[in-house]
Amino acid sequence: MPQSNPYTAGRYAAIDIGTVTARLLVADVDETGVVTEVCRKTAICNLGVGVDKTGLLAPEAIERVRMVVGDYAHTISELQPEEGSPIVVIANATSASRDAKNSGDFVAVLAEFGIELSVIPGQKEAALSFAGASSAFPGERVVVLDVGGGSSEIIAGQAGCVPDHAHSFNIGCRRVTERYLHSDPPAAEELDSAAAWIASEMREYLDMLSSEGFGSCRIVAVAGTATSAISMREEMQEYDSSRVHGAVATRADIDALLAKLSSLTLAQREQVVGLDPQRAPVIVAGMLILQQIMDVLGADSFTVSERDILHGIILDAAAS
């Protein structure tokens, strides 16, 4: 059912710590659930490097995130309104932290900033991603794709409602890269093996969505792989969120980007206009995941949204 409870107005801060990035959104929410962004920050920390193989978060990766979260904590304190309630801070960690045996150590490190980190399950991650992404398309039936570093969430339903279907796959651009793409540039057989694995893992679920008519609905893609696709296609010297949000990427766009990126060495990918050099090691796998989802789902395009799990985290907190 659509959200019927009133939202608690105020200023909220959401921190999302994934396998590749650590992100912050500070926003104001009114009683109707309208979210107005105050500040957004993103840093590529690569927390999940090696986790798929070792099952552990590396100390140097934890330290990278600790430094970034320290900066985020300072930003939040500076944005505290002079009057009114303190900013509500919600910090979530996803795939890499779920997989790691030492995630408790990571939680303890962030506690030094007074930040309580929750390691959320995949289904919760999917629901939050859907709430945030679908809020930009009220009343529509949509399929939300959130391709992350360690996992990818695919959620379908009507915007503003509890999703009809949600699934979190342990398939992400960091995980696929570490398992399959060992050559530089990736060898054709590595790409084929990765594509076959992605499709086989997702096919049953995506076929079910197609059988319920979701293949013909709007596909909404969020997070860094999807936004990078637009930034690279448009050859953005500086990232412009106003040009990315709402942009449509076609299957031909993804095919062309994958062909180009997979033919380049890592050093060459780092020079691609519109791509953050720190995302270059995993972007081929990210494009491959998007391509395989579109192929199995029978989709010829998707809409990119800057509204994502960060908005979902804030809306969830304001409605609680």
Residue 125 has a pLDDT of 84
Rounded Cα gap, residues 273 and 36, in angstroms: 30
Sign of the torsion formed by the C-alpha atoms of 226, 121, 46 and 90: positive
Rounded Cα gap, residues 314 and 89, in angstroms: 9
- Residue carrying structure tokens 């801070």: 89
Residue 2 has a pLDDT of 46
Rounded Cα gap, residues 231 and 280, in angstroms: 13
Give me the residue spans of the domains in the chain.
10-122, 133-304
Is it true that 10-122 and 133-304 share their CATH fold?
A: yes
Give the CB-side neighbour count of residue 316, counting CA atoms within 13 A: 22
Beta strand 88-93 pairing with 35-44: unpaired
Residue 237 has a pLDDT of 93
Rounded Cα gap, residues 143 and 263, in angstroms: 30
Q: Give first-to-last CA distance, the chain, whole Å.
A: 16
3-state helix, strand, coil in the chain (%, to 5): 45, 20, 30
User: What are the residue ranges in the chain where pLDDT is below 50?
Assistant: 1-3
Rounded Cα gap, residues 253 and 64, in angstroms: 33
Residue 32 has a pLDDT of 87
Residue 3 has a pLDDT of 45
Residue 1 has a pLDDT of 37
Return the CATH number of 10-122, one of 3.40.50.11540, 3.30.420.40, 3.20.20.70, 3.30.200.20: 3.30.420.40
Say which residues have a Cβ less than 8 Å from residue 187's Cβ, sequence separation at least 6.
Answer: none
Query: 3-class SS at 185?
Result: coil
For 133-304, CATH gives: 3.30.420.150
Contact between residue 144 and residue 312 where contact means Cβ atoms under 8 Å apart: no
Task: Phi first, then psi: give them for residue 46, nearest 5 degrees.
Answer: 50, 50
Residue 186 has a pLDDT of 96
